[in-house]
Amino acid sequence: MKKLLVVSIMLILPSISFGYTGNELLRDCGLAIRGFNGEKLINADHEKAGVCLGYVEAIVDEQRLVPTSLQFFCIPSNITYEQDIRIIVKYLNDHPEQLKWDANALIKHALDQAFPCKKGKIRR
């Protein structure tokens, strides 16, 4: 069932990701971090934080479904989605020149920088 959900999200995600840039990702994931830190968010901010969380979960889960030789990044199993989001926000804040890039590509790039796959592994 979980695989079916992830595959469904993977099919839908490209259509909703068009135009979703690092600027929106930084805004939405910043709200998610505020929520993680215990700050009370208004309903609209909860929705935006949820977009971030769902987007990151879908990309991370997608990578776990593909053969390891094709993965963009190699996240250890003990890393949480919250930690992924904090890593992504730090990357975006450190690279403001990339905020106009596609959010999907930025997430993959940020997580590859934090969790590169072992040498000798074929990667796309």
- Going from the C-alpha of 105 to that of each of 18, 78, 88, 112, the distances in angstroms are 12, 23, 11, 10
| Residue 28 within a domain | yes
| Residue 124 within a domain | no
| Residue 70 within a domain | yes
| Residue 6 within a domain | yes
Count of the separate structural domains present in the chain: 1
| Residue 120 within a domain | no
| Residue 121 within a domain | no
pTM above 0.75, yes or no: yes
CA 92 from centroid of its chain's CA atoms: 11
Note down the domain range covering 70: 2-114
Mean pLDDT for back-to-back runs of 10 residues, the chain (124 residues): 48 56 97 96 93 95 86 91 98 97 96 85 45
